[in-house]
A and B are shown apart, each in its own frame.
Chain A
């Protein structure tokens, strides 16, 4: 059975909009809690440590390390049938928060947990840029 499905894309919310707008400008932005100092990802309306509503957006470097990965040899869903092998990654930013992404411009045999990564801003269309990572 072959299924052609549109790739699912992020649909920003009022709360997360500054993150996606930042990517459009080539910047990684994270929320930080003014009360307890925690960095917050994904974007929220309240701090996931202390539930404070005092969250402020900050530009960060985007420097990261690879927390873990897998190489999906079968598509994780029919939407990604054209992307195999998928280099799925959990990336830890220097601020300590983790996010889901994929690795690009990488030799598969050189992927290692702990490797240094740099952000790649990948435009999808006029309104959306996705955040991927490559070896630093």
Chain B
């Protein structure tokens, strides 16, 4: 079952992530073409090499997104997908691109998630009330609109906080250990020039002293919205071998969806990234012990804790001890989110998960500079969309 490991990430591009974006504003399509050009250049490929594309929504069009992007880029493709998996989108893009390449229907696939601000509209329409509901649907007939939103359970913070509170009741909870997780990741982010918190580490005391947002989650355990975005180019092995950098081959993936709102989860503390990761490891013929670094989707600290457990890096209920006993920094014994994660980079909307993919490729390519994990050959990546409702996993390995 699965991939043979014949497709690799060969090029990457990433906008510096900034809390206050001061550069020129660009439409999503303009960012798409820019990121594509940068990623192809990084790989040593040319525009005409592209024959596949994976996108998500763009601000300029509500539908026909792939065709709109293809036309703008001027690159006809044999394979086009639009992914709607929230924070799991980036990982979902990469495995679909690898699968399409292995099917032989395309050789070079671009996956981009632009997230810089677009130009201010000189003729703005009325404010869309939908925006106040963030990721929750207020449409009539939406179960959320009827049974969750009216009670105030919407957006992300409350759902993740309730998962953390349940975890605390079942397995125990140590705020200092969660603060240590943030401090380790922010130490990594402090070394990353593309991170919003470049040069800005925090201490355990800083995290514990930050404002309580939704018990037990504090401000510094929650991602900060930023401008950013990134892209990767994947290529078939025979193309990858001609590229400028060592390829990061996709040897395993998994994806699992269960619910939209965690109220209806069978078990809030056993998350979909479990089955997704199990499939990814089995496909790659690897175990969690084989991993040199883990780039774990980190919208909140609780997401990392549960992913460490459910992906099998430690047992259920052992995540707190695992974080306490391991040095998660780049030079540590178990490097996690070597780019700082989204807690260190900032979260550029649904593009946040692309930072984990880009950094994983960078590490396998040996291009992470001060953050480079020595002898890094195998990297685990996870993606999380919604409130632990749709999750994905990826294994990248040097060719």
Residues of A within 8 A of B (CB): 3, 5, 7-13, 16, 42, 67-80, 83, 86, 88, 90, 98-102, 112-114, 130
Contact = CB atoms under 8 A, between A and B. Distances in A.
Contacts of A16: 146
A68 B214 contact: no
A115 B303 CA distance: 26
A71 B212 CA distance: 9
B165 A42 contact: no
Interface stretch (B247-255, B261-269, B271-279): B261-269
Nearest to B215: A71
Contacts of A90: 162, 166, 262-263, 268
Contact of B162 (A70, A83, A112): A70
Nearest to A114: B169
A98 B264 contact: yes
Contacts of A3: 132
B146 A86 contact: no
Contact of B158 (A42, A67, A88, A113): A88
Interface of B: 129, 132-134, 138, 140-141, 143, 145-155, 157-158, 161-166, 168-169, 211-215, 217, 261-264, 268
Contact of A100 (B157, B211, B261): B261
5 contacts: A71-B215, A75-B152, A77-B154, A88-B158, A114-B169
B214 A100 contact: no
Given A76-B155, A86-B152, A100-B151, 16 more contacts: A8-B138, A11-B146, A67-B166, A68-B165, A72-B152, A72-B213, A72-B214, A75-B152, A76-B157, A77-B132, A77-B133, A90-B162, A100-B148, A101-B151, A102-B152, A113-B166
B331 to A, nearest CB: 36
B150 A9 contact: yes
B263 A10 contact: no
A11 B153 CA distance: 16
Q: DSSP class of B's interface residues: helix, strand, loop or mixed? A: helix
A98 B159 CA distance: 14
A3 B127 CA distance: 12
Given A73-B213, A76-B158, A114-B169, A102 B146 contact: no
A17 B138 CA distance: 18
Contact of A99 (B132, B140, B147, B155): B147
Contacts of B155: 76-77
Given A77-B154, A100-B263, A101-B151, A69 B146 contact: no
A10 B146 contact: yes
Contacts of B157: 72, 74, 76
Contacts of B149: 8
Nearest to A90: B263
Contacts of A70: 158, 161-162, 164-165, 214-215, 217
Contacts of A102: 151-152
B19 to A, nearest CB: 18
A98 B148 CA distance: 12
B60 to A, nearest CB: 26
A88 B162 contact: yes
Given A100-B153, A102-B151, A77 B169 contact: no
Contacts of B168: 113
Nearest to B268: A68
A12 B57 CA distance: 30
A99 B151 CA distance: 10
A12 B146 contact: yes
B263 A71 contact: no
Contacts of B213: 72-74
Contacts of B138: 8
Contacts of B161: 70, 72
Nearest to B144: A100
Nearest to A131: B151
6 A-B pairs with the lowest CB-CB distances in the bound complex, closest first = A113-B169, A70-B161, A68-B166, A70-B214, A68-B162, A100-B153
A75 to B, nearest CB: 8
A69 to B, nearest CB: 6
Contacts of B147: 10, 42, 99-100
Contact of A76 (B145, B152, B164, B166): B152
Contact of A42 (B146, B166, B169, B262): B146
A113 B217 CA distance: 16
A112 B213 CA distance: 18
In the complex, which of the residues B141, B147, B169 has the most CB atoms of chain A within 10 Å of its own CB atom? Answer: B147
B163 A68 contact: yes
Contacts of B166: 67-68, 90, 113
Contacts of B143: 42
